[in-house]
Amino acid sequence: MVVAHHRTDSLTAHTARRAAARLEAAGYRIDLLDLHAEGFDPRMNTSDQPDWGNREKAYSDEVHAHMRRVLAADVVVAVFPVYWQSVPAILKGWIDRVWNYGFAYGRSKPRLAGKRMLWLGLAGATADDPVVEGMRAVLETNLSEGIAYYCGFSHSTVGLLTGAEERPQRVDAEGNLLVGEAVTGAEREAQYADLDRRAGEFVERFAAEEPVPA
Ligand SMILES: Cc1cc2nc3c(=O)[nH]c(=O)nc-3n(C[C@H](O)[C@H](O)[C@H](O)COP(=O)(O)O)c2cc1C
């Protein structure tokens, strides 16, 4: 499980903890990769830049350690806040550096072939915001098609968790960002419970798709 959030008290971190607990209850063992806590540097560098003439290139030790963790996993679950209809820079940089040429792609039989992936993205937009339909489509295209299937994964799905902000936001016809009153008390509890329920559904459906690994 790869978590991309700078605060351990964030809704994203909470959702990751709940998802991990659900997967453990379903029989999975979790290798939790908290990118911020582990100090992952998302910046591309010369050592980890692909060499198109050498798919056996030895990348940095840090990247090889991450590759071993990905290889050891049957499923990869990424939990992140949606930033600009995409993943946060730290998660993008992890994919850029670790899911590298010769490892994740560039072989007739990809090393990640057959693995399964769930992208759990928390979005501030509320479910009824017209922006959500396009966001879901762009995330599915980018993350499932552009990354996971390109790297040989057998299954990839995006679980988009809308309504993750305590202050509902929407953009009006003039382009103004309208920020509503903070949801508090019982209403906030209900909002959290609903987000937990939707996240749980994504995780359980994902977990049930294949037999639980031994
Ligand atoms: C840089 C940035 C970009 C964002 N882009 C989007 C976006 O494209 N769509 C959206 O619905 N929410 C967007 N948001 C809102 C976040 O998705 C939301 O704050 C987050 O999911 C809340 O979870 P957290 O409390 O765990 O951070 C953005 C927030 C930030 C800080």
Enumerate domains of the chain plus CATH numbers.
2-208 (3.40.50.360)
| Model confidence at 211: pLDDT above 50 | no
Q: How many whole angstroms separate alpha carbon 97 and alpha carbon 119? A: 18
Q: Which residue has the higher pLDDT, 213 or 180?
A: 180
pLDDT, position 214:
41
The residue ranges of DSSP E strands in the chain, in sequence order, are: 2-3, 33-34, 75-81, 116-122, 155-161, 169-171, 177-179
Residues enclosing ligand 1, CB less than 6 A? Answer: 5, 10-12, 81-85, 122-125, 164-165
pLDDT, position 210:
53
Backbone angles phi, psi at 181, to 5 degrees: -70, 145
167 pLDDT tier (thresholds 50, 70, 90): confident
Atom index in ligand 1 nearest the CA of residue 122 equals 21
Mean pLDDT over all residues of the chain? 94
Q: Show the tokens assigned to 56.
A: 């056996």
